[in-house]
Structure 1
């Protein structure tokens, strides 16, 4: 019975750490997209849509900042 408790506790702890790691990565990606948008509400929505598009198209996490910066620059250029 002791081993069962240890296994359940270990599995629950590992799952929790995985879950919090994934949530923090999502928060960081969302924060990056919103920080590139600044205070412009329309650009914030656009950047969140670009983030969703990047995630759907499989942009690697290491390439995401450059991809989002390029999307922000394209958005600013189209608004001028």
Structure 2
């Protein structure tokens, strides 16, 4: 019975750490997109859409900042 408790507790702890890691990554990606919006509400919605698009397209996490910066530049180009 002791081994069962240790195994279950370890499994739950590992799952919780994995879940927390994923949430922090999501929050940091969202914060990156919102920081590029520069306080503009319309651009904020646009950048969140672009973040969702990047996730659907499978943009690698290391390429995400450059991808979002290019999307922000495209927004400025289409705006003016």
Specify if TM > 0.5.
Answer: yes
Say yes or no: does 1:20 pair with 2:20. yes
Give the structure 2 partner of residue 57 of structure 1.
Answer: 57
Q: Provide Cα deviations, 1:10-55, integer angstroms capped at 9, x if missing partner.
A: 0000000000000000000000000000110000000000000000
Q: RMSD of the alignment, in Å? A: 0.3
- Unaligned stretches of 5+ residues in structure 2: none
Runs of 4+ displaced beyond 3 Å: none
Matched ranges for 1:1-80 at <5 A = 1-80=1-80
Report how many aligned residue pairs link the two structures: 80
- Unaligned stretches of 5+ residues in structure 1: none
Tell me how far apart the structure 1 counterparts of residues 61 and 33 of structure 2 sit (CA, whole Å).
13
Tell me how far apart the structure 1 counterparts of residues 27 and 65 of structure 2 sit (CA, whole Å).
14
